[in-house]
């Protein structure tokens, strides 16, 4: 599990394509301070497993399914990526619950300067609309953010200078794909309400009232 608080901006240093996916090598420093084989690191919000590492890089295998469902398929050598290690039991919970399981890809539409901050507009696919609410949490390329304004197929987030400077948001071009993960709590609530709504409703009859003692 992650919190959406980016620890480091890494760089894709090598991509090795394979029949069933690809291997990414990512230049990094901070997230390698305590790295071990098998550790989880979120790369642009995608939970990946460290399969090799050295002093200034780590490698992770990406399945064909993950490439299909995320914006990692657009990665190129030199691409900047947001990195976060899996949350430890002693970590501060600074963002919100982030699984590293991407729900869909959105589109970077524009970024407008608002004083020293930025208003960033992201387009989203129709199937995610019911999970996105104004003032709710959403993960964009692994960054825990709050929906400031919501349209029919887009939302805006207010990005402070610190977040703008330490994440990949400032490197994105118009039309770039971004990984979106909606609030997991919304999906659980929907599932539970749906299960309750589909249960057969018992008709109240005179016989049932008599059975209950009325």
Task: Give the angle 109-175-178 at the CA atoms, nearest 5°.
Answer: 85
The answer to whether residue 45 is domain-embedded is yes
Residues 112 and 193 both lie in one domain: yes
Residues 108 and 172 both lie in one domain: yes
What CATH number has the domain bearing residue 139?
Answer: 2.40.30.20
CA pair distance 97, 27, nearest whole angstrom? 26
Q: What does residue 192 show for φ and ψ, rounded to 5 degrees? A: -70, -40
Determine the structural domain holding residue 35 and report its residue range.
8-85
Residues 66 and 124 both lie in one domain: no
Which pLDDT value is given to residue 208?
Answer: 75
The answer to whether residue 1 is domain-embedded is no
Half-sphere exposure of 165 (CA within 13 A, CB side): 5
pTM higher than 0.85 for the full model? yes
pLDDT in tens, the chain (214 residues): 999 999 999 999 999 998 899 999 999 999 999 999 999 999 999 999 999 999 999 999 999 999 999 999 999 999 999 999 999 878 888 889 999 999 999 999 999 999 999 999 999 999 999 999 999 999 999 999 999 999 999 999 999 999 999 999 999 999 999 999 999 988 888 888 877 666 666 676 778 778 877 7
The answer to whether residue 43 is domain-embedded is yes
Q: Are residues 1 and 98 in contact, defined by beta-carbon separation less than 8 angstroms?
A: yes
- Write down which residue in 85, 115, 140 finishes a domain: 85
107, containing H or E segment? strand 104-114
Half-sphere exposure of 122 (CA within 13 A, CB side): 30
Residues 69 and 118 both lie in one domain: no
Residues 112 and 183 both lie in one domain: yes
Number of domains in the chain: 2
Which pLDDT value is given to residue 214?
Answer: 73
Positive or negative: CA dihedral 190, 148, 6, 108:
positive
The answer to whether residue 170 is domain-embedded is yes
Q: Are residues 139 and 82 in contact, defined by beta-carbon separation less than 8 angstroms?
A: no
Which pLDDT value is given to residue 107?
Answer: 98
Count the Cβ atoms, other than its own, within 10 Å of residue 30: 13
Residues 120 and 188 both lie in one domain: yes
Exposed/middle/buried for residue 112 (C-beta within 10 Å: 0-12, 13-18, 19+): exposed
Residues 67 and 125 both lie in one domain: no
Residues recorded for the chain: 214
DSSP letter string, 13-41:
EEEEEETTEEEEEEE-SGGGTT--TT-EE
């Amino acid at each position: 599990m992650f919190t959406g608080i980016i620890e480091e901006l890494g760089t894709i240093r090598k991509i090795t394509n394979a029949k069933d996916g690809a291997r990414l090598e990512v230049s990094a420093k901070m997230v390698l301070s305590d790295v071990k084989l098998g550790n989880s690191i979120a790369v642009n919000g995608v939970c990946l497993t460290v399969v090799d590492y050295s002093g200034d890089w780590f490698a992770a295998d990406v399945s064909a399914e993950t490439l299909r469902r995320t914006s990692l398929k657009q990665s190129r050598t030199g691409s900047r990526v947001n990195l976060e290690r899996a949350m430890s039991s002693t970590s501060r919970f600074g963002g919100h619950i982030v699984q590293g399981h991407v729900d869909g890809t959105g589109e970077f539409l524009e970024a407008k300067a608002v004083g020293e901050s930025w208003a960033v507009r992201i387009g989203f696919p129709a199937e995610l609309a019911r999970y996105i609410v104004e003032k709710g949490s959403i993960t964009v390329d692994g960054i825990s953010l709050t929906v400031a304004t919501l349209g029919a197929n887009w939302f805006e987030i207010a990005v402070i200078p610190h977040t703008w400077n330490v994440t990949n948001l400032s490197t994105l071009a118009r039309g770039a794909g971004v990984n979106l993960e909606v609030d997991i709590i919304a999906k659980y609530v929907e599932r539970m309400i749906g299960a309750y709504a589909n249960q057969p409703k018992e008709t109240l009859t005179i016989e049932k009232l008599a059975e209950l003692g009325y």
